[in-house]
Structure formats: structure tokens, C-alpha cells
Amino acid sequence: MRKDIKVLFMGTPEFAKCSLEKLVDSGYNVVGVFTNQDKPAGRGMKLKPSEVKEYAITKDIPVYQPQKVRNNPEIIEILNRLKPDIICVVAYGKILPKEILEYPRLGCVNVHGSLLPKYRGAAPMQWAIINGEKKTGITTMFMDEGMDTGDMLLKEEIDITDLDDFQTIHDKLKVIGADLLIKTLDKIIDGSIKRQKQPSEYTLAPMINKDMTKIDFSKSSIEIFNFVRGLSPFPGTYMEDSDGNRYKIYKVLIINNNVASEDMVANNDGYGTVVKISKNELIISTKDGYISILEIQAPNSKKMNISAFLAGNKIEIGKKFIK
């Protein structure tokens, strides 16, 4: 049955590749792949294909990389040639127009990295962590013309622990998403799928840009903790001193006030102040307490643990990191 279903897959990053692999391994007939165009990468800025494209090539699946999907007659020609029964979209990065959404007889199915209707948008995993959510998950849905507004199909949730960051949640959800996609397709084919309208209340997860990654020490310790891990390891957060030097931060630890030393309290000259330095500690004040920097990257350097950083960089107590 699966091999008789023609699937057109649309996706770009590693998160999507996991779903494409699962489709192929499960015996679905993937007749083509749409993915974003190759991008310059590395020191030589050579064009690098997406993870989805690299995998598709190894399986001899035709790859298409249209620059735009709206008002593009070439895409309809491709669809007429491939005649997909269903389109599966996983982190493709483009909004599909009505003529594509309505083309396949079984519809267009999307794998989304949140528990809809929470966190519609481009960065659902990051914002769930930043906002201190205790749970997240995967939702599959039939796509419509809105941004993640289609009828929900299947869901699976996981806990977000204090040990999680964007990377760990990403790696868990890409596997869950791939498995849930297969379950969703199987139910669509056998007619047992149930669809549920999304409620009117929802939250958004807008794209993260570099201008949004600066640590604000006027916030609480828990807010900073969640902010750092929500953007680690990519794109990473940063703190900036009064001289304009930027230090990328990948991991921090909350220091509870009840364990703060007298010296830390005495050295606290407002949020963003370095209050303690030792061989393996760099502690900075926040709105309501302190955080300890665990992984850092100095300007023109590489990421390292705090002990290695302090061994080669001089930071003084009282130094200020600005809002």
C-alpha cells in the first residue's frame, strides 16, 4: 500500500532530513524533493547543499530548488509530471500558495515542532524553551494558506527538563516528528485520521535574528537561564561589556541567593556586574540574583569551558556587562 502512494517531500535542514529518511525506510514512494537553494558556507564560502538535498541524492530522488513557490509556472509543471498523491512539508522555509496546497488528492501534511496552537511560526522549539515551558512536542496537520493554522491531526509531547537546550530538544523532536509523520500518513490512507480545528487562542514563535540574542542582565536569573539554553548552540547568545566587546554564551547556571557569599553581595553594583571570579567561576549579577557562566566564546576565539577561558583571559571583579 505505501509503495503505491506518491509522496512529494518539501524540507531543508537536518530536522527535515530525519522525516525524509523515515519515509524512504518505511516504503513510501518519494517521487521528488523540494528544498531551499544551496548556500555559501565555511571560510571559502563554497555553495553547500541542504541536508535534505544531500540525502535525496544518495537515494536517487529528483531534487528541485525553486527560488520562489508563488506565481511560478515551473512548479505546476513539476507537479503535473510527478503527480504526487500527497505533499509532506517539514521545515521547508517557504509558504505554499493555494494552487500547491490544493494539488495533491490527499492534501498537504506538515510536521510542526510544537503543541499547536502554541508556537505557530519559524522557531517553535526555541521559544518554548525561552518562555520556560515544561512541555513541548510535535503536531502534524493538514496545511492551509495560514501560518500553521491548518486542522490538527496527531500530537506527541515530551517534557522540557532543566538539562535541555535547543539542540537536545531538536534532536528528540526530529525523531518523534519522523515517526509521527508515518503514523499520520498511514491513518490518512486507511481513512482513520481525525482532524481537529485549532482554537482561536494561539501563540507565535517568530524567527530568531541576531539582534535578538543579546543577554539582558536586568532580567531574572531564570529568564536568562532559559534564554541562553533556548538559543544554544545556535545561534547562541552574547553579552557585551562597556567597551563593546562581545562574548558569546552557550551555557549558564543559576546561583541561588541563599548560597551567595558575602563577597558576592558586597561586589554587586547592580545587574550585569561581575561579582566573583575563581579558577572555574565567572559569576554575574542579575535582576534577582546571580548566574555562573559555564561555556563562553571570547571575540576572535573558539568556544570553551569557563576554566579554559579564565586561564587565558583577564576579567576583573566589578566589570559591567551592559543591557
Backbone phi, psi, residue 247, to 5°: -120, 120
> Which of 254, 249, 322, 237 is closest to 291 using CA atoms?
254
Weakest-pLDDT range from 14-18, 161-165, 264-268, 290-294: 264-268
Mean pLDDT to the nearest integer, 175-197: 98
Domain ranges of the chain: 2-190, 210-322
Superfamily of domain 2-190: Formyl transferase, N-terminal domain (3.40.50.170)
Q: Could you report the per-residue pLDDT of 55-79, keeping only the tens digit for each? A: 999 999 999 999 999 999 999 999 9
In whole numbers, what is the pLDDT of the chain averaged over residues?
Answer: 96
Asked if residue 17 has pLDDT above 80, the reply is: yes
Question: What sign results for the dihedral spanned by CA atoms 81, 84, 90, 96?
Answer: positive
pLDDT at position 66 is: 95
Mean pLDDT to the nearest integer, 130-137: 98
> Which of 218, 217, 185 is closest to 86 using CA atoms?
185
Mean pLDDT to the nearest integer, 231-251: 96
DSSP reduced 3-state for 174: helix
Q: How far apart are CA 208 and CA 127, in angstroms?
A: 9
Identify the band that residue 240 occupies on the pLDDT scale cut at 50, 70 and 90. very high
What does pTM read for this prediction? 0.95
Provide the angle, in degrees to the nearest 10, between the axes of the packed helices 51-58 and 14-25.
30
Distances (CA, A) of 205 to 97, 112, 128, 181, 220: 21, 12, 8, 22, 21
pLDDT at position 185 is: 98
DSSP 264-285: HHHH--STTBEEEEETTEEEEE
Tell me which of 242 and 273 has the higher pLDDT: 273
pLDDT at position 271 is: 96
| 210-322 is a CATH 3.10.25.10 domain | yes
Weakest-pLDDT range from 38-47, 48-57, 122-131: 38-47
Asked if residue 222 has pLDDT above 80, the reply is: yes
> Which of 252, 228, 15 is closest to 112 using CA atoms?
15
N- to C-terminal Cα separation, the chain: 58
Mean pLDDT to the nearest integer, 219-229: 98
DSSP 133-164: -SEEEEEEEE--SSSS-SPEEEEEEEE--TT-
DSSP reduced 3-state for 47: strand
Asked if residue 249 has pLDDT above 90, the reply is: yes
Tell me which of 265 and 158 has the higher pLDDT: 158
Asked if residue 42 has pLDDT above 80, the reply is: no
